[in-house]
Structure 1
Amino acid sequence: MILKELVKNVLLEKPGGATVLKEYEDTGKICDSSRRQMVNILAAHMTEKEGYDSPKLIC
């Protein structure tokens, strides 16, 4: 799975993620508050899946 699909799937399954995706689809960009919300959603997902002290890095 490519990273774009992974991010989209995570956003679709988390509360607030669909709103971020809708804003991006409608306008082609996202505002600062939505960007912060997206980062928080993705960081929480990574922490949930990999743990807080995971040595793995996504590049």
Structure 2
Amino acid sequence: MKKMSSKEIDEIIENVKASLAVENIKVDNISVITGKKYLNGEISSKEAIDSITEYIRNKQLRQ
């Protein structure tokens, strides 16, 4: 995969947030950070999914 610029990554994140907002889903900062790490090639898609899933599960346990 071609290395993306910070501007391209920010545009992707904003597009995802807008798409999810249509579904009335708010994106939290942890998911944004994880998404940026994935798009930067710092983590795999499996690691990103596992990280976000773990965060959501822990958040649900605290409620």
Q: Quick check: which has more Rg, 1 or 2? A: 2
Q: TM-score, normalised by structure 1?
A: 0.45
Q: TM-score, normalised by structure 2?
A: 0.43
